[in-house]
Amino acid sequence: MPFESELFEADMLAPFPAEVRIPARTVAAALEATAKASPRILVVLDDDPTGTQSVADLPVLTRWDVADFTWAFTHRINGRRQDAVYVLTNTRSLDPAEAAVRNEEVVRNALAAAALESGLRLGFVSRSDSTLRGHYPLEPDTIAATVAAVSGEATDGVVIVPAFPDAGRVTIGGVHFMRGTGEDAGKLTPVAETEFAKDASFGFANSELAKYVEEKSGGRFPAVSVIVLDLAIVRAGGPDNDPRISAVAIADAIDSATDSTPIVADIVTENDLRALALGLEEAERRGKKLLYRVGPPFVRGRIGQAIRTELSGAEAYAGNTPSDAGGLIVVGSHVGVTTRQLKALVEQHSAARIVEIDVEKLLGGNADGYLDEIVAAVVESLRSADVILHTSRLLIKTDDAAESLRIARTVSAAVVAVVNRTLKTFPPRFVIAKGGITSSDVAAHGLEIRHAIVRGPMLPGIVSLWDPVDGPAKGIPYIVFAGNVGDDQSLVQVTRKLSNTF
Q: What is the pLDDT of residue 411?
A: 83
Spatial separation of the C-alpha atoms in residues 479 and 486, rounded to whole Å: 14
Confidence of residue 3 (pLDDT cuts 50, 70, 90): low
Convert the pLDDT of each residue in 51-82 to its tens digit.
898 999 999 999 999 999 999 999 998 888 88
Other CB atoms within a 10 A radius of the CB of residue 246 amount to 28
Same domain flag for 338 and 295: no
Spell out a b/e string for 69-105, using b for 16 or more CB atoms within 10 Å of the CB, else e. Answer: bbbbbeeeeeeebbbbbbbbbbbbbbeeeebbebbbe
pLDDT at 235 over 80: yes
Confidence category of residue 483, pLDDT binned at 50, 70, 90? confident
Is 355:375 a contact under the CB 8 Å cutoff? no
Q: Are residues 373 and 272 in the same domain?
A: no
Asked which of 60-74, 433-447, 465-479 is least confident by mean pLDDT, the reply is 433-447
One domain for residues 368 and 486: yes
What is the Cα 323 distance to its own chain's centre?
29
**pLDDT (average), residues 134-143:** 98
Q: Which of 52, 45, 149 is nearest to 94 (CA)?
A: 45
Asked if residue 165 and residue 17 are part of one domain, the reply reads yes
Same-domain check for residues 254 and 141: yes
5 — pLDDT class (breaks 50, 70, 90) = low
Both 85 and 179 in one domain: the answer is yes
Cβ partners under 8 Å of residue 462, min gap 6: 53, 54, 166, 167, 482, 485, 486, 490
* Position 323 confidence tier, pLDDT thresholds 50, 70, 90: very high
**Residue at 23 is within a domain:** yes
Considering the domain boundaries, does residue 494 fall inside one? yes
Structure confidence at residue 1 (pLDDT)? 47
Domain count for the chain, please give it: 2
In a domain, 1, yes or no: no
Say whether both 324 and 272 belong to one domain.
Answer: no
Q: Would you give the DSSP letter of residue 468?
A: E
Residue-wise pLDDT for 380-391, tens only, equals 999 999 999 998
DSSP string, 74-138: H-EETTEE-SEEEEE--GGGS-HHHHHHHHHHHHHHHHHHHTTSTT-EEEEEEE--TTS-S-TTH
CA dist., res. 421 & res. 450, Å (int): 18
Element holding 419 (H helix, E strand): helix 401-425
Q: Is residue 308 part of a domain?
A: no
| Residue 394, pLDDT score | 62
Of 252, 278, 302, the residue that ends a domain is: 302
252 and 321 together in one domain: no
Provide the CATH number for the domain around residue 109: 3.40.50.10840
Query: Looking at the domain assignment, is residue 364 inside a domain?
Result: yes
Of 8-22, 251-265, 325-339, the range with the lowest mean pLDDT is: 325-339
Closest CA to 93 of 214, 199, 164: 199
Looking at every residue in the chain, the average pLDDT score rounds to: 93
- Specify whether 230 is located in the same domain as 108: yes
**Do 269 and 321 share a domain, yes or no?**
no
Coil, strand or helix: which one is 260? coil
- pLDDT for the residue numbered 363: 83
User: Which among 283, 302, 321 is the end of a domain?
Assistant: 302
The CATH number given to whatever domain includes residue 344 is 3.40.980.20
DSSP for 165-208, please give it.
GGGTEEEETTEEEEE--GGGTTEEEEGGGSGGGG-TTT--S--B
In this predicted model, what pLDDT tens digit does every residue of 289-300 receive, in sequence order? 999 999 999 999
pTM above threshold 0.75: yes
20 pLDDT higher than 80: yes
Final residue of a structural domain among 272, 302, 332 = 302
Q: Do residues 274 and 249 share a domain?
A: yes
- Report pLDDT for 64: 98
What single letter denotes the amino acid at residue 374? I
CB–CB of 328/387 below 8 Å?
A: yes
177's CB contacts (< 8 A; 6+ apart) are 7, 9, 12, 169, 170, 171, 188, 189, 190, 191, 207
Cβ neighbours for 280, distance < 8 A, ≥ 6 positions apart: 159, 250, 251, 290, 302
Assess whether 210 and 325 both reside in one domain.
no
Supply the range of the domain harboring residue 234.
7-302
Position 4 pLDDT exceeds 80: no
The 10 Å Cβ neighbour count of residue 119 is: 10
Question: Is 81 or 206 the better-scoring residue by pLDDT?
Answer: 206
Q: What is the mean pLDDT of residues 163-175?
A: 95
End-to-end CA distance of the chain, in Å? Answer: 47
User: Is residue 143 one of the residues assigned to a domain?
Assistant: yes
Please give the average per-residue pLDDT across 350-356, as a whole number. Answer: 96
H-run or E-run covering 493: helix 490-498
3-state percent breakdown (helix, strand, coil) of the chain, nearest 5 = 45, 20, 35
